[in-house]
Structure 1
Amino acid sequence: MMEGMDETDTRQAIKDTALELLVRHGYRGTSFGDISAALGTTRANIHYHFGNKQTLVDEVLGDYMQETLSGLRAVWSAQGSSFSDQVEAMIAYSRARFSHFNPTGTEGRGWSLISRLRQDADLLGDRGRQMLGHFGVELSALFAEALSAADRRGELAPNVVPADAALLFAVIADNAAPITLAEGGFERLERTYRSLRQMIENRP
């Protein structure tokens, strides 16, 4: 354990640091040595708590996916929120995550663990690859429900098929980090969400 921390806090500190490094450097570019150096502890301490790198990465990825899906469900199921409000909340949620790794907005860094680990999927174990695949399924289900609810509220244009609109939103959300790495940065993602909203919402 690290000084002043119990076992639970130590494990969480290791996972928090691993998350930061994995997003920045990927699976290939992150070692127990990197994590221990960032924490000021020993590699043996990290081995004691997680055994091996794959176990640590699987746990970090599982926590990250759960937190992400919980955050998105809160955005898209908020009581009293209109479809337009939800799109703006989605942009704000994504911007907060983007800004954590890109404080000035011009660094051009990746900011999603899921997107980053997909680049290293060949190095992940079965559990890690299954989790990455499951994320897309969960995302599709989330948007299917959100767009169906918007349709029931009369917020989608009459010619819009909710399932088709949900698919488009899921694709954007699943590729949000790569979109911001293209020319235009976060504003490109922002415009993409708002353009889709304008195309499908029912406007008087």
Structure 2
Amino acid sequence: MRDNIKEVATQLLIQNGYQGFRFRDIAAQLNVTRANVHYHFGNKQQLAEEVIVEYVAGALNAYQAIWLDPDSTLDEKINRLKDETKKRYLKYNPTGRTGAPWSLLARMRFERDLLSDKAREAVEMYGERLESVIFEGMAMAVQKKELSPDTPIKDISFQLVTVTNSAGPITQDSGSFDRLEELYCALARIIRHAFGNAPTV
């Protein structure tokens, strides 16, 4: 039951934000009493905190597996980053041609002042850790001679983090995943043509 509650809570936080997130809506979707939800999670701040902390950990684990993989080329890593982002997008936009909200982190950044200290710290830590992981992946590409030694990996990492952090608003504005996919592919081409000769995405 706890996992079911957290799954519905994640959906409602993404769709309605923290202020529009209510135990009665969770209970209605699961066809249980509101008291049942309160039994597992004392209040909505506690539930939101657990959902956000676990979401951040899951997202970072996925990105670490991509960027710290010693056997993948840089182009493959960018492609896998795109695919991981698309998988999250398609969960809430199954046709691939809609712009429904899908990123919990994008939503929570705008409401961080309403979150518990632990949840807010997780949201803030996510951006820092993501940049660090991508930076490590870029450094690996230089070490493997995919990119030239003078590649500005800090600047490029910042650009990749910015696109990834803006993924939710980009798909909402464009109404599909196409624009975001073009951005990832364009970044890969720019990096390759300016600083190396990696295979085509």
**Shorter-chain TM-score above 0.5:** yes
Residue 203 (structure 1) aligns with: 197
Residue 114 (structure 2) pairs with residue 120 (structure 1): no
Shift in Å, 1:127: 1.9
Shift in Å, 1:77: 2.2
Kept in 1: contact 2:97–2:175 (CA 8 A): no
Shift in Å, 1:70: 0.5
Residues 1-204 of structure 1: matches in 2 within 5 Å? 10-157=1-148, 159-183=150-174, 185-201=176-192, 202-203=196-197
State the aligned residue count. 195
74-83 vs 28-37, which moves further: 74-83
Q: Which has the higher contact order (CA 8 A, sep 6+)?
A: 2
Q: Which runs of 4+ in 1 moved over 3 A?
A: none
For residues 40 and 184 of structure 1, the distance between their equivalents in structure 2, rounded to whole angstroms, comes to 32
Letter in 1 for 2:197: R
Kept in 1: contact 2:97–2:177 (CA 8 A): no
Kept in 1: contact 2:109–2:123 (CA 8 A): yes
Kept in 2: contact 1:157–1:200 (CA 8 A): no
Q: Deviation string for 1:61-81 (max 9, x for gaps)?
A: 011001100111111223421
Q: Deviation string for 1:4-61 (max 9, x for gaps)?
A: xxxxxx1111111111111121112220000010111111111111100000000000
SS of 1:105's equivalent in the other structure is coil
Structure 1 unaligned spans of 5+? 1-9
129-138 vs 116-125, which moves further: 116-125
For residues 185 and 152 of structure 1, the distance between their equivalents in structure 2, rounded to whole angstroms, comes to 36
Kept in 1: contact 2:13–2:104 (CA 8 A): yes
CA RMSD of aligned residues (A): 1.5
For residues 75 and 66 of structure 1, the distance between their equivalents in structure 2, rounded to whole angstroms, comes to 14
For residues 19 and 96 of structure 2, the distance between their equivalents in structure 1, rounded to whole angstroms, comes to 26
Instruction: Give the % identical residues.
Output: 36
For residues 62 and 78 of structure 2, the distance between their equivalents in structure 1, rounded to whole angstroms, comes to 13
Letter in 1 for 2:63: L
For residues 17 and 121 of structure 2, the distance between their equivalents in structure 1, rounded to whole angstroms, comes to 18
Kept in 1: contact 2:18–2:111 (CA 8 A): yes
SS of 1:12's equivalent in the other structure is helix
Shift in Å, 1:159: 4.5
Letter in 2 for 1:12: D
SS of 1:80's equivalent in the other structure is coil
SS of 1:185's equivalent in the other structure is coil
